[in-house]
Amino acid sequence: MKGTPIFFYIFVMWLLIIAGGGLLVSIIAPISINGFGKLDHLIDSIVKAGIAMMLVVLWILILSKIKNWIFHKQISH
């Protein structure tokens, strides 16, 4: 079962990619910000980009925690 942790890591990575893409397309993309006149599109894009960047940072933190768990597990054996 030496290769199992790496498969788990790859599975979680793909799960995050698919779930994140679905989240961005189905929930974040339809959001529309109004009330700023000519700046509506700019503010709308900035908010969506900010949300996407926060999700990327969250994914990196999650994958980093899993990677550290895998390496600690392998070192302890």
At residue 71, the pLDDT reads: 82
pLDDT digits (tens, 9 = 90+) for 6-65: 888 889 889 989 998 899 899 998 989 889 899 999 999 999 999 999 999 999 999 899
Contact 66, 9 (CB under 8 A): yes
Is 1 a residue whose pLDDT tops 80?
no
d(CA 60, CA 3): 22
Closest CA to 14 of 62, 70, 50, 53: 62
The structure's pTM equals 0.78
Is 74 a residue whose pLDDT tops 90?
no
